[in-house]
Chain A
């Protein structure tokens, strides 16, 4: 079994008598974990607590086995943090700022300078690295924040709303960068976002928070895999009784349900290929006019998690 990246062990955080995180308990093992939830769900508080900015009121959390209460310095040495809001020194040039941050993480000055240049080229800001950060556009500031988060080579990356305020091309570029970092496999990442699409494109696991509680924690890859077994097809039988086609499908091991106007919902067994359905349809003289994989998207998962006891959102 994979070692957990983050373990939440009854984590509770309280501000001014108000409970923000309520006894969170989970073991996050994914390489890229999405953190979802509506405003005020506790996403940023969770990240800030893991960074040691807030002290847990009860329970604790561990990052790569290091306790955030007792070993906060070690925890922070493993993390690269890209905050949601602006975070820069306006009068400093981009490369100098990233160098400063890398040095504070413990890199020797020469190596920090080298890494700062590399990080700037990597995020696509090579040409503007000597310009003062205060003159950067919003997209450039986001990229500069990513550069400072990766310059010191962390093992875990916290990305808080990384595509905030980006135009479509800049967003695509940012998502590509995150996917590239994820696919290299050198580090794990936690992506906190309210954009389901960002999480869907970058993450293999998702933790959904609601009112300081864990509303859902699921493996998107497994969901996607299981979704591939759900099919919805529209068949034209031309005189052949639909029931006999359904019977033939069941003989192949499918679970079926008949809908209106020739629509059939089915769950395929493991090992059965879709082309076998086409072959069967041809044998039965049935035309398959449409075949859709049922898509239980992240949106469905999110909406289900957000449903309260009354079934209302």
Chain B
């Protein structure tokens, strides 16, 4: 209809499938995020490590390249094993934390500041779909910087080493996939919960770091003072690191995770405790979201 015909008319066209309407939210979010030059540069920079890791894997299997670099013995120094991939995931996981702190606070708070949430939920669109839509923004971005390049690297190594290596090191693929999913879930829920409760974005971003570093420091202090390991239950990165070690190596106490998720020697917690604690943490974040994500405030 031409715009000069300023009249109301009902809509009689087709409708999109209701199951995929939550994807509208990430589409709009990506359009907004794309406008931030800083974020675009940061995101592109986050692929440097996977690129370097891919080069290392390639060079390690290319005798000519090693000869060219005059580093024939380098192949023995670099071992592409659980430790290599755990370090990769640890580094990328840390970048994911920064990403969550940058973009997480801007997800829910703008909808709450001026009550736009009531308009979302006055449509055939549920609270669960809203949270799923917001989670998928972070999940898609973080997946592309963690488990997706991780599995590609695993595939490259497997291609160069042969199928036997892949079969023998299947736990690496499992660790990359599940380990990253757990981390992404915890991070995304935390970022959204803080975004819902703290409307000032810089404060919410700082709190994302605070929850990890302050709680971790507090847990470490308890460990020191009480000569125990249970203080680590407050440290989300230790919990995740322990689960990663469990997934990658089947609970080998000699391994200590990667980068930011390193578990100090002798500080290993039982894996079931870590799973339980992370489950509880996720439930707390979900409850925080449940309290804030509603169509109308009830004044009791």
Contact = CB atoms under 8 A, between A and B. Distances in A.
A43 interface: no
Nearest to A83: B118
A181 B8 contact: yes
B130 to A, nearest CB: 9
A115 B8 CA distance: 10
B15 A48 contact: no
Contacts of A106: 15-16, 18, 21, 124
Contacts of B40: none
A107 B11 contact: yes
B21 A104 contact: yes
Interface stretch (B45-53, B109-117, B243-251): B109-117
Interface of B: 1, 3, 6-16, 18, 21, 24, 28, 110-111, 113-116, 118-126, 294-296, 298-300
A304 B222 CA distance: 70
A16 B300 CA distance: 6
A117 B2 CA distance: 10
Interface in A10-33: 15-16, 18
Contacts of A73: 18, 124, 126
Interface residues of A, number: 52
A16 B297 CA distance: 13
A104 B296 CA distance: 18
A187 B116 CA distance: 24
B115 A83 contact: yes
B13 A107 contact: yes
B124 A108 contact: no
B295 A53 contact: yes
Contact of A52 (B13, B15, B295): B295
Contacts of B122: 51, 53, 76, 79, 81, 83
A153 B10 contact: yes
Contacts of B114: 86-90, 134
A91 B123 contact: no
9 contacts: A16-B300, A48-B295, A52-B121, A90-B113, A104-B125, A105-B123, A111-B11, A121-B3, A153-B9
Interface string A123-151: 00010000000100000000000001010
A118 interface: yes
Nearest to B31: A96
A100 B10 contact: no
Contacts of A148: 119
A85 interface: yes
A170 to B, nearest CB: 17
A155 B12 CA distance: 11
Contacts of B113: 90
Contacts of B121: 51-53
Contact of B110 (A51, A53, A79, A89): A89
Given A16-B300, A122-B7, A74 B124 contact: yes
A40 B132 CA distance: 35
Interface string A33-58: 00000000000100010011110000
Contact of A54 (B13, B120, B298): B298
B1 A118 contact: yes
Contacts of A81: 118-119, 122
A90 B116 CA distance: 9
A180 interface: yes
A251 interface: no
Given A76-B124, A77-B123, A122 B8 contact: yes
Nearest to B110: A89
A104 B15 CA distance: 10
B119 A101 contact: yes
A184 B118 contact: no
A186 interface: yes
Contacts of B9: 153, 186
B98 to A, nearest CB: 22
A118 B28 CA distance: 21
Contacts of A121: 3, 6
A122 B124 contact: no
Contacts of A62: none
Contacts of A79: 122
A96 B29 CA distance: 12
A184 B295 contact: no
A265 interface: no
Contacts of B14: 108
Contacts of B18: 73, 106
A118 B6 CA distance: 7
A187 to B, nearest CB: 7
Contacts of A76: 122-125
A240 B205 CA distance: 91
- Most A CB within 10 A of own CB, among B1, B110, B114: B114
Contact of B295 (A18, A51, A107): A51
Nearest to B7: A122
Contacts of B8: 122, 150, 180-181, 184, 186
A234 interface: no
